[in-house]
Amino acid sequence: MTTLLFTHEACLNHDPGRMHPEHPARLKSVLAALSDPEFDALERREAPSATLEQIARVHPETMVRRILAAVPPHGLAAIDADTVMSPGTGEAVLRATGAAVAAVDAVLAGEARNAFCAVRPPGHHAEPMRAMGFCFFNSVAVAAAHARAVHGLARVAIVDFDVHHGNGTQAAFAATGGVFYASTHQMPLYPGTGARGERGVGNILNVPLHPMAGSEEFRQAYSEVILPALVNFDPDLLMISAGFDAHVDDPLASIALVTEDFAWITRELLRVADRVCDGKVVSCLEGGYDLQALGDGCAAHVRALLAA
């Protein structure tokens, strides 16, 4: 069985402006890296659009309609200083979320061992009632809720190695014991949440890293804290919020990871998934703002998924 790659060209048409770090060239860089012949074995699929019913499992229908109604016919429309829409944003957010949902369907149907969604905009800052931090709909959260509601999974785990805390994902599931959310992130840093004391109903595990932390601190956080807790949670499906902005070259943060760390964490997560959920893993692109580091990080991540 292979690895599925979900993407859609509409994800290139969300353009928050020339000076915005979350620009279309990010996804172009990822797709260029994954066009190397070593990735020929990927099974590439076009992402469908998420439905209102799917998104509404996390974001109330009023919020979804409000966001889609705010998409400007031309020019830009700002939700806040960071979170800006262009005419292509509506379809991009529906395809990004739809990719995560379709990837869950395919992996749970046994069509592939695992899947990567090369999509944008990212999702993990989007709270149930609030778009923020470059994010509109929380793709990973919607897909996790879909896995529980439609496929009847009792336990879904989400591991988030983006350098920013996934406040949106935490907010979506802080009271849902059937979803485990674990995150490493720089602290202090945007959005300011993610302290160790934020535990939800015992299902939230935050391991903040100090600015300038490197490979050793990152790997220790996983080896000693997150991976044992993940084994203990015993999920039926593992989802990954895969952000590559903890790389040393990233302009938005100051953690000092190297590309090999992304290969390492992917292999470690796959090892746990093999043990607890037959290797069923769905990963979605979140952040990563240095184009070279982002492309290299995604390649390292997907190389490990393919090798599983």
Residues tagged active-site: 125
Smallest distance from Zn ion to CB 56, Å: 25
Hey, CA dihedral for 25, 31, 33, 35, is it positive or negative?
A: negative
Smallest distance from Zn ion to CB 164, Å: 4
Cβ closer to Zn ion: 98 or 288?
288
Smallest distance from Zn ion to CB 58, Å: 19
**DSSP strand E in the chain: where?**
3-7, 43-46, 77-78, 84-85, 114-117, 156-160, 179-186, 204-209, 237-242, 281-285
Smallest distance from Zn ion to CB 246, Å: 8
Interface size with Zn ion, residues (CB under 5 A) = 5
Q: State both tokens at 157.
A: 């785990």
As a whole number of angstroms, the distance between CA 6 and CA 22 comes to 19
Residues in CB range of 271: below 8 A, 6 or more apart: none
Smallest distance from Zn ion to CB 161, Å: 10
Taking CB under 5 A as the rule, does residue 22 contact Zn ion? no
| Stretch of 24-32, 101-109, 155-163, 178-186 contacting Zn ion, by CB under 5 A | 155-163
Q: Are strands 204-209 and 237-242 parallel, antiparallel or unpaired?
A: unpaired
Cβ closer to Zn ion: 205 or 294?
294
As a whole number of angstroms, the distance between CA 288 and CA 162 comes to 8
Q: State both tokens at 213.
A: 């932390």
Cβ closer to Zn ion: 163 or 227?
163
Alpha helices by DSSP H, 137-193 = 139-149, 167-173
As a whole number of angstroms, the distance between CA 155 and CA 171 comes to 17
Site mask for Zn ion (CB under 5 A), range 281-300, x = bound: ------x-------------
Cβ closer to Zn ion: 233 or 244?
244
- Burial bucket for residue 221 (CB in 10 Å: 0-12, 13-18, 19+): buried
Q: Among 8, 45, 130, 164, which residue interacts with Zn ion (rule: CB under 5 A)?
A: 164
Site mask for Zn ion (CB under 5 A), range 226-255, x = bound: -----------------x-x----------
- Burial bucket for residue 252 (CB in 10 Å: 0-12, 13-18, 19+): middle
Cβ closer to Zn ion: 56 or 291?
291
Q: Among 162, 236, 261, 296, which residue interacts with Zn ion (rule: CB under 5 A)?
A: 162
Q: Which residues bind to Zn ion, rule: CB under 5 A?
A: 162, 164, 243, 245, 287
